[in-house]
Amino acid sequence: MSSSNCTGIEPNPDISGVGVRTAIYAQAILTLVQPILAILDGYISEDELIGLHELYLGILLPGCALLFSALIQDRTFGLSAYHATIVLYLSWINNTSAMIFFQFALIAQIQLDAERDFRRKVGVMWELMYKPLKSVAREGYAGNNQEILKAARSLAEGMRTALRTRLKKAKGLDRSKEVLEDVIQNLSAFLGAGTENHDELKMVVEATQERLQDSRLRKTLGIFEGDTRQWKVTTMVEGWVKKIRGGETVWTLLERDWTMATLASAHLILFSAVGVWLWVTIDRFGDCEHVTKLTKLVIVGIPIPVTSQALRIVSIVIYAICLLPFINIVVFGGLELVVVVGCQRLVAYFRNSSKSGSPDPEKLQETSSRTPGYSLPLFVALTFVLQTFFIVSTELTIHNNRHLLSQNSDSQESDWTFGQTLAIALTILPLLQVWKEVRKLKLEDFKRLFRGSQR
């Protein structure tokens, strides 16, 4: 269709149809459910992380399909600047879902690292306790061995009491529970051996020392020597990321799940390529140049012509940054972290100022570092705000450009095509995944949430 004969934007229900939009909006909101469920117990389990992983994969793949569809349509039937902006807005919604996954994984990683560090300390103490007992098991209670045994029994009693208390109070030891209960059982056997029956004591000591040589047990306790990472990545990108402040921590998080990191980064690259292509060629994009000049993008409720030079420059810069593999995740994840940490410090500041007239900066820093529980709710809240912003902006953009559709095309935009039906059908699997997680909850978990909200 030539520019002179163009009477308006041709309908494209597979991009801006109500079915496609509803499916993407619903899937985005579903990604918030599992983080909210994790807030109920204040701890992110490995199962919850895996569940969110599966949920996001179900969102990421259709998101990539939407971008490829836009590229194919441009080369076949043609693609208007209006529909290209809708594709980008819908892709931004998918990207916010990716960010909640990585922030969710980051908090989980911090908790898992703390759990792993606790297991390592227990393992080291357990091993050190049994090392001097070799002479007691071999020589009996003669000489200094009586004092060695007395010190070991005192240490074992203290360790057993501390571990029992920790297991009763702590929620973040799901992966450690079995091995720590095994350590408690061993300490009880050692303490129950008594000082009179040398043979029984010798049997416990020798059996424990043999167990401590088991590589699987040592790895579980965190006293395993060697590199525990599955993949060793030594690339130029890794060097760049680690030069960024806090980048090494983020890179460790990416290494934890390279499949998800690669797919998310690839989606960002594809999405950014479409964005750069659109904004670099916006003056001549599509077949209807005079309609493109009338097309407006709604940002914060303000309609802005897509041919605006300021909008064009800012958009090109943002999408160009997103083209960098893996660094795109680090940059946007870092921005979200900055916002959340800032909000967390504000919460700590106002809580301190409400308790005392003049808040102490040192006390504020100490308080903010000891309140990690705010992180997950703030991440969820920020993601919800971003998703709401892009959803509202998408709908307002559609509303403000409706008059540009060619005659009788408005109704055709709402036609239920195969693509729209498929998009709705793809929401069933994420919905079932979330329903499965909700069913695991107990009534007490919901009561705890409501009690917490009333404080």
Q: What is the Cα–Cα distance from 183 to 159, expressed in whole angstroms?
A: 9
Q: What is the 3-state secondary structure (H, E, C) of 256-316?
A: HCHHHHHHHHHHHHHHHHHHHHHHHCHHHCCCCHHHHHHCEEEECCEEEECCCHHHHHHHH
Specify the pLDDT at position 362: 46
> Among positive and negative, which fits the CA dihedral 311, 325, 91, 406?
positive
pLDDT greater than 60 at residue 84 = yes
The pLDDT of residue 407 is above 90:
no
Give SS3 for 9: strand
Q: Answer yes or no: is 230 within a domain.
A: no
pLDDT, averaged across the chain: 76
DSSP state for residue 405 in the 8-state scheme: B
Half-sphere exposure of residue 168: CA atoms within 13 angstroms, side-chain side: 7
Claim to verify: residue 410 and residue 363 sit in the same structural domain:
yes
403 belongs to a structural domain: yes
User: Would you say 109 and 40 are in contact if contact means Cβ atoms under 8 Å apart?
Assistant: no
Q: Give pLDDT, residue 359.
A: 44
Residue 4 lies in a domain: no
137-148: average pLDDT:
72
Q: Buried b vs exposed e over 318-327: b needs ≥16 C-beta within 10 Å?
A: ebeebbbebb
What DSSP letter does each residue of 132-197 carry, written as one string?
Answer: THHHHHHH-S-TTHHHHHHHHHHHHHHHHHHHHHHHHH-SS-TTTHHHHHHHHHHHHHHHHTTTT-
Together in a domain, 195 and 342 = no
Q: Is residue 237 included in any domain, yes or no?
A: no
pLDDT at 22 over 80: yes
Residue 146 confidence class, pLDDT cut points 50, 70, 90: confident
Distances (CA, A) of 193 to 149, 158, 186, 190, 200: 11, 17, 11, 5, 6
Question: What is the model's pLDDT at position 453?
Answer: 46
Same domain? 50 vs 102 = yes
Are 334 and 361 within one domain? yes
Contact 394, 90 (CB under 8 A): yes
Residues 261 and 395 in one domain: yes
Q: Are residues 376 and 419 in the same domain?
A: yes
Q: Per mean pLDDT, which range of 173-177, 189-193, 330-334, 443-447 is the poorest?
A: 443-447
What angle, 0 to 180 degrees and rounded to 10, lies between the N-to-C axes of helices 327-355 and 81-130?
Answer: 70
With a cut of 50, say whether residue 373 has pLDDT above it: no
Q: Within 13 Å and on the Cβ side, how many CA atoms surround 120? A: 10
Predicted confidence at residue 275, as pLDDT, reads 93
The CATH number of residue 154's host domain is 1.20.120
Q: What is the mean pLDDT of residues 54-77?
A: 82
Average the pLDDT over each of 15-19, 103-107, 295-299 and give the range with the smallest value: 103-107
Provide the residue range defining the domain that includes 167.
Answer: 116-221
Q: Is residue 172's pLDDT more than 70?
A: no
What letters, b where the CB count within 10 A reaches 16 and e where it falls short, cover 143-166?
Answer: eebeebbeebbeebeebbeebeee
Are 247 and 241 a contacting pair, CB within 8 Å?
Answer: yes
φ, ψ for residue 128 (rounded to 5)?
-65, -35
**Would 280 be classed as within a structural domain?**
yes
143 or 344: which leads in pLDDT: 344
